[in-house]
Structure 1
Amino acid sequence: MSHDVLVAGETLIDWVPERAGPLEDVAGFERRPGGAPANVAVALARLEGQPLFWTRVGADPFGRYLERVLENNGLPIRFVERDPGAKTTLAFVTHDETGERAFTFYRDGTADTRLEPDRIDDETLADCEWVHAGGVTLSSGSSRAATLDLLERAAAAGCTVSFDPNLRPALWPNVGTFASVVGDALAHVDVCLATAAELEALGFSGDSAAEIARATIDHGPPHTVFVTRGSDGAVGVASDDAPWPADVVDHPGFDVAAVDTTGAGDAFVAGAIAALRDDQEPADAVAFANAVAATATTAKGAMAALPTRDAVAPLLEAERSHRRS
């Protein structure tokens, strides 16, 4: 079977609190599979693809659980590495009364920091049309060099390369280091998907999301930038260098009864990749990605709530009907 998308990055355990409040006041947590690239890979599988996924988990009960989750979600485990000398990363999530999240990571020398360069062979990259990675594996360990190596080799192999900075301040005590390392990654990136705050941390500025995206493109080399805005939708900007029509798109998102926003950004990333690979133009890609993200918020759990195309279709059809009327 052909696998024309490769996703790379961390898989970890999210411990989600039973209620809002500081970590020291929360007594109970629910175990959930997590990691932004893992969510993206599963989301692509739900959208009727079957991406390859390169990750590394510990040879411990949590790692075995995550391997089973990935396989049960239709992902081949060819590049799911088990590290005999490291534990699986744990992330404790807390929410304040406004819903804002904060993360406390147990990630010192854990498996996802120990990815190694050259583990993805040239033949695999030659068969891939698209490679996607996130910024967490750039934050520490040999995974920084491994991620940069993959992006460089993917670009050289002619793959479309996409990237999500996924800034987690707890993992980047020095924002300058974040900007420098992610800047090295962006040198190989075609499509960047980020929040305005993440792009501003990289040194790009503007009075609107579209201006910030344009500043990112003008700096180069990404030719396409999507700026996500949560419940307010997203902006997409594509330059004349993009293989799809140049455009500036501002989509307001979809009004849904949100239950859990965890993983919505990852759902958006997967929706954008799926749409662009289906040769949709930027306007349709942003709309589809917003619909995937919105649908993902209507049930609990980052992975569990990731939708199929059939689940997303009603939102898109309702939007088309509204435009016709």
Structure 2
Amino acid sequence: MNRLYAIGEVLIDFIPLQKGCALKDVRSFERAPGGAPANVAAAVAKYGASAHVLTKLGRDAFGDFLLEELHNAGVDTTHVKRTDEANTGLAFVSLKDNGERDFSFYRKPSADLLLSENEIDAALFQTGDILHFGSVDLVDSPMKQAHRKAIRAVKETGGLVSFDPNVRLPLWNDAEDCRRAILEFLPKAHLVKISDEELAFITGIEDEETAILSLFRGDVQAVVYTRGAHGAELYTANGSYTAPGFKVDAQDTTGAGDAFVGGMLFHLLQKEASPSNLTSLLDEHHAEILRFANASGALTTTNKGAISALPDKAAVEALMHFQNT
């Protein structure tokens, strides 16, 4: 079966036990495994496809914990490196009453940023594989160069590249540095997922449709525009498609976008997507793919955390059936 490789950060999310207060006022936290690429890989694995993570963890207790959690989610951790040079990354999160989040990161640097291009084995990738990445680990670091090598390698095999900017400005010294990095790597992807909160920042364009169409540059063949509870829109060269969201009791939106991406990439792996057939597959199967992705994201918000909140395939299908009747 075709495989997903997710490259980037794997870290600990410390989720507050109190909602509706600023991060400085939170008294207690609960640890949860996270990191956007890891969340996507875990979703794909839980739905039944092969998923691998390319990253580096500290040789510490948090790194041990993350390896165990990834393994329990069904993710292949064979290619995860360990180091004594830095600790595993940490993110402290505060939750507003509506489940939205505020982040504070501890990584100067964290172990994931030390993964070097020499530690990326180009021979890993085969025809039909998908490489997924975000922007969090595109800060100037060895990991940025590792991304470049992995993207080149998967493309040389005819594989697909997926990019979710997943903007986290507190991780950057300057917002413009973040924007420049995203605009550098975005054209390298075949599939781009972007949220309503990120579109104007990344493109610098206020008009929504004009902004979305401006993302079709370089190798980009499809853009998925997510609106949280309001669903998602898919744009290809042949037109656009809309899919409504699902009504759930949202408790924590951490990882919802990653679960959405995982749902999409699971279907694309099953359908043997490649750069040569991506547009036609999405045009033909958009309703099925977006509905599953929306249900996946929605269910993840009903529990705390990211990987720990991911539903299994049966739960996603049950929600789709329940809200279809």
Taking structure 1 as the reference length, the TM-score comes to 0.90
| 1:278 maps to which of 244, 258, 270 | 270
Per-residue deviation, 1:215: 2.2
**Which residue identity lines up with residue 15 of structure 1 in the other structure?**
F
Alpha carbons 1:15, 1:92 under 8 Å: kept: yes
Q: Which deviates the most, 61-70 or 298-307?
A: 298-307
Spell out, residue by residue over 1:133-168, the C-alpha distance to the aligned partner (whole angstroms, 9 max, x if none): 111110242111111221232223211100111110
**Which residue identity lines up with residue 235 of structure 1 in the other structure?**
E
1-side partners of 2:7 and 2:287: how far apart?
Answer: 27
Matched, 1:306 2:310: yes
Q: Which residue of 1 aligns with 2:154?
A: 154
Matched, 1:232 2:230: yes
Secondary structure of the 1:52 match is strand
Per-residue deviation, 1:227: 1.1
2-side partners of 1:311 and 1:247: how far apart?
Answer: 31
Secondary structure of the 1:255 match is coil
**Which residue identity lines up with residue 268 of structure 1 in the other structure?**
F
**Which residue identity lines up with residue 294 of structure 1 in the other structure?**
A
Secondary structure of the 1:155 match is helix
Alpha carbons 1:118, 1:150 under 8 Å: kept: no
**Which residue identity lines up with residue 46 of structure 1 in the other structure?**
K
Q: Which residue of 1 aligns with 2:244?
A: 252
Per-residue deviation, 1:213: 2.2
Does the C-alpha gap of structure 1 residues 316 and 23 become closer, same or farther in structure 2, counting only changes over 3 Å? closer
Per-residue deviation, 1:299: 2.6
Instruction: Give structure 2 stretches of 5+ with no counterpart.
Output: 272-280
Alpha carbons 2:95, 2:252 under 8 Å: kept: no
Alpha carbons 2:225, 2:234 under 8 Å: kept: yes
2-side partners of 1:24 and 1:273: how far apart?
Answer: 37
Spell out, residue by residue over 1:11-62, the C-alpha distance to the aligned partner (whole angstroms, 9 max, x if none): 1011111213222222111111110111111111111112111111100111
Does the C-alpha gap of structure 1 residues 288 and 207 become closer, same or farther in structure 2, counting only changes over 3 Å? same
Matched, 1:288 2:292: yes
Matched, 1:6 2:12: no
**Which residue identity lines up with residue 258 of structure 1 in the other structure?**
A
Q: Which residue of 2 aligns with 1:126?
A: 126
Does the C-alpha gap of structure 1 residues 299 and 99 become closer, same or farther in structure 2, counting only changes over 3 Å? closer
Does the C-alpha gap of structure 1 residues 50 and 15 become closer, same or farther in structure 2, counting only changes over 3 Å? same
Does the C-alpha gap of structure 1 residues 146 and 112 become closer, same or farther in structure 2, counting only changes over 3 Å? same
Q: Which residue of 2 aligns with 1:28?
A: 28
Alpha carbons 2:122, 2:150 under 8 Å: kept: no
Q: Which residue of 1 aligns with 2:256?
A: 264
**Which residue identity lines up with residue 7 of structure 1 in the other structure?**
A
Q: Which deviates the most, 126-135 or 10-19?
A: 126-135
1-side partners of 2:231 and 2:171: how far apart?
Answer: 27
Secondary structure of the 1:137 match is coil
Alpha carbons 1:47, 1:274 under 8 Å: kept: yes
Instruction: Name the count of aligned residue pairs.
Output: 312
Secondary structure of the 2:242 match is strand
- Pairs within 5 Å for 1:1-325: 2=1, 4-19=3-18, 20-203=20-203, 205=205, 207-208=207-208, 210-217=209-216, 219-239=217-237, 246-279=238-271, 281-321=285-325
Per-residue deviation, 1:204: 5.3
Taking structure 2 as the reference length, the TM-score comes to 0.90
**Which residue identity lines up with residue 160 of structure 1 in the other structure?**
L
Percent sequence identity is: 36
Alpha-carbon RMSD across the aligned residues, in angstroms, is 1.9
Alpha carbons 2:23, 2:102 under 8 Å: kept: no
2-side partners of 1:157 and 1:185: how far apart?
Answer: 19
Q: Which residue of 2 aligns with 1:243?
A: none
Per-residue deviation, 1:97: 4.3
1-side partners of 2:47 and 2:2: how far apart?
Answer: 14
2-side partners of 1:216 and 1:121: how far apart?
Answer: 30
Alpha carbons 1:247, 1:282 under 8 Å: kept: no
